[in-house]
Amino acid sequence: MAEPSSSLPPSKEELIQFIKRLGTYLALKMSNLQNLDPRSVGAIAGLAVAIIFTYRLMRSPSPPPRRQPKRQAPTTSSTAISTQSNITLMPSGVYSSSEDLRAQNAVDEFFQPVKPTLGQIVRQKLNEGRKVTCRLLGVILEESSPEELQKQATVKSSVLDVLLEITKFCDLYLMERVIDDESEKNVLLALENAGIFTSGGLLKDKVLFCSTENGRTSFVRQLEPDWHIDTNPEIVSQLARFIKYQLHVSPVKAEWTAGKVLSSPSLEHFFGCV
């Protein structure tokens, strides 16, 4: 027995395939919605409406058959012919249902939500901010104190993908208080081994070191970023008047009243990567 789809009218078969191809194209465009101008968004919306309208027309029921006048009881031969005719006509209803199902599936596939990429999430979370400053200890590095950096520095594997996306989209500056030159070398080596200077494109000149916590505050104020990320609540509080957005990384959520300060257990958690 032939597949139902092979008996579909060519025009409707082509329409279903067109809806699928157009749906795939529009889904791709919708995933890049933030990069489209208003006219493009309007065009996409218009095409979506056209798909629904076309689909409804395609599914519109045919007009009911005209009522036939009553006839006398059929003979045995005419009954056999009528039964054979009904058997012949039954598959068309099956094909019609299959056609409607395929058309419905094509429309459903188009309207399925498109999962945003990590890059899109980063841009959305940062509110399109283009300059970001971030401390290293406790955010990018596993270590949490300057004393630990004298021995080694380790980049968190869980934060690497987010950090690379931020470097692609933003002008990123990393900064930390260190005790000696050896600590600086350990930090730079860890960042280099993690691919931050190659895959991410971060310049070594944008990794800043200071000897005091106030030095980090001065760096941030001079750079005037859109976002600053820190673990020290005192620094976050001091910068609240000057920086548009801040992210306080802490396992304990703090309530901030001054400025637009958000809290998160980690940088990767803030971007939904855990």
Residue 101 banded pLDDT, cuts 50, 70, 90: confident
Task: Locate all alpha helices (DSSP H) within the chain, ordered by sequence.
Answer: 10-31, 38-59, 76-110, 118-125, 146-149, 160-169, 181-193, 213-223, 233-239, 267-270
At 132 the three-state DSSP class reads: strand
**pLDDT tens digits for range 104-122:** 676 666 556 678 888 898 8
Percent of the chain with pLDDT over 90: 45
Could you tell me which residues come within 8 angstroms of residue 125 by beta carbon, excluding any fewer than 6 positions away? 270, 271
**pLDDT tens digits for range 199-223:** 877 999 999 999 999 999 999 999 9
As a whole number of angstroms, the distance between CA 136 and CA 186 comes to 12
* Whether the Cβ atoms of residue 240 and residue 217 lie closer than 8 Å to each other: no
Q: Mean pLDDT for the chain?
A: 78
* Whether the Cβ atoms of residue 90 and residue 130 lie closer than 8 Å to each other: no
Does residue 5 register a pLDDT over 60? no
Q: For residue 230, give the H/E element and its range.
A: strand 227-230
Report, as an integer, the average pLDDT of 10-24.
67
**pLDDT tens digits for range 120-152:** 988 889 988 899 999 999 999 999 999 999 999
Residue 3 banded pLDDT, cuts 50, 70, 90: very low
Work out the end-to-end distance of the chain between its first and last CA atoms, rounded to an integer number of angstroms.
Answer: 51
